[in-house]
């Protein structure tokens, strides 16, 4: 059995940056993170083990509490910054630069009176933040049916951007249909460059192997996207969070196995899977 690893896999620059910043802040008590700093349970658990406190809402912080708030790599709405300042918290922003770019575009478009269309996963942390930067006026388009249900005046300026972890093909399909329906459409491809490279490398590898393993958390949008794209090639594909989810039955009679990992999957988790496969 031979194991091949995708050329681009694992921690992206934005996630690695957020993780390092969080670890640097860990000694300054108390340090809070709103939601998950990145979408990976192993990373979040490691941060918690360093004393970082996970919050689902800033309301959980008692008035008068001093401390540091880590803004996640997915970014947040402007209101969160305002709330944190009211609480006199030190703000350490780990928002991915690609997400920051998308936030600025959403704010600028709204300021110009354009209708912001966000192609992304409804309910995802990044998309919620982008909606905030569009002053709550953005519309999320997740699929074709969402697009067909749009009721926007033909004269309205539309500004279209993407959740940074969307698949290029999906984004292009939806933007093409939007341009067919509306006259004034501005397209901003805000898909992260690392995301595109990771997706292309995974698909190319999936076409060469008999089994494709995608390592990453189910709450990670970019990891789920890798799984979908690899499965579309027709190659047997499985997504696992850790080695414990490995099913040895998948490996039977497989001479060539491909492995990739999501942008929020830490090296230590991926290496555990690779070490096991190589030991066989």
Q: Where are the domains of the chain?
A: 2-10+194-279, 13-97, 100-191
The confidence score (pLDDT) of residue 159 equals 97
State the chain's mean pLDDT as an integer: 95
Task: Indicate the fold that domain 2-10+194-279 takes in CATH.
Answer: Cobalt-precorrin-4 Transmethylase; domain 1 (3.40.1010)
Task: Indicate the fold that domain 100-191 takes in CATH.
Answer: Cobalt-precorrin-4 Transmethylase; domain 1 (3.40.1010)
Rounded CA gap, 181 and 146, in Å? Answer: 13
The confidence score (pLDDT) of residue 28 equals 77
The owner of tokens 């390592």 is 215
- Rounded to two decimals, the pTM is 0.89
Rounded CA gap, 243 and 249, in Å? Answer: 14
The confidence score (pLDDT) of residue 63 equals 83
Rounded CA gap, 249 and 228, in Å? Answer: 21
**Domain 13-97: CATH architecture, name and number where available:** 3-Layer(aba) Sandwich (3.40)
Mean pLDDT of the 49-61 span: 94
The confidence score (pLDDT) of residue 154 equals 85
Active-site residue set: 126
Same fold, 2-10+194-279 and 13-97: no
The confidence score (pLDDT) of residue 280 equals 87
Q: CB–CB of 237/230 below 8 Å? A: yes
pLDDT(243) > 80 = yes
Residues of the chain with pLDDT > 90, as a percent, come to: 89
Confidence of residue 41 (pLDDT cuts 50, 70, 90): very high
The confidence score (pLDDT) of residue 27 equals 81
């Amino acid at each position: 059995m031979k194991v091949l690893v995708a050329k681009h896999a694992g921690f992206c620059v934005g996630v690695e940056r957020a993780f390092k910043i969080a670890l640097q802040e860990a000694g300054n008590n108390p340090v809070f993170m709103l939601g998950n700093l990145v979408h990976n349970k192993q990373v979040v658990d490691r941060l918690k083990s360093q004393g970082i406190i996970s919050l689902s809402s800033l309301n959980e912080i008692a008035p008068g509490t001093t401390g540091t708030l880590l803004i996640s790599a997915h970014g947040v709405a402007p209101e969160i910054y305002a709330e944190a300042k009211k609480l006199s918290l030190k703000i350490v922003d780990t928002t991915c630069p690609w997400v920051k770019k998308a936030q600025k575009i959403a704010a600028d478009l709204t300021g110009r009176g354009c209708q912001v269309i966000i192609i992304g996963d409804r309910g995802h942390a990044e998309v919620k933040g982008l909606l905030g930067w569009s002053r709550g006026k953005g519309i999320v388009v997740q699929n074709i049916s969402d697009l067909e249900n749009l009721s926007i005046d033909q004269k309205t300026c539309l500004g279209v951007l993407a959740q940074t972890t969307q698949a290029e093909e999906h984004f292009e399909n939806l933007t093409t249909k939007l341009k067919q329906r509306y006259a004034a459409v501005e397209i901003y491809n805000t898909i992260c460059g690392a995301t595109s490279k990771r997706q292309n490398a995974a698909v190319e590898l999936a076409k060469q192997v008999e089994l494709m393993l995608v390592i990453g958390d189910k709450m990670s949008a970019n990891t789920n996207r890798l799984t979908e794209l690899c499965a579309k090639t027709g190659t047997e594909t499985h997504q696992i969070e850790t080695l414990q989810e490995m099913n040895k039955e998948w490996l039977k009679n497989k001479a060539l196995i491909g492995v990739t990992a999501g942008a929020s999957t830490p090296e230590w988790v991926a290496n555990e899977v690779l070490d096991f496969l190589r030991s066989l």
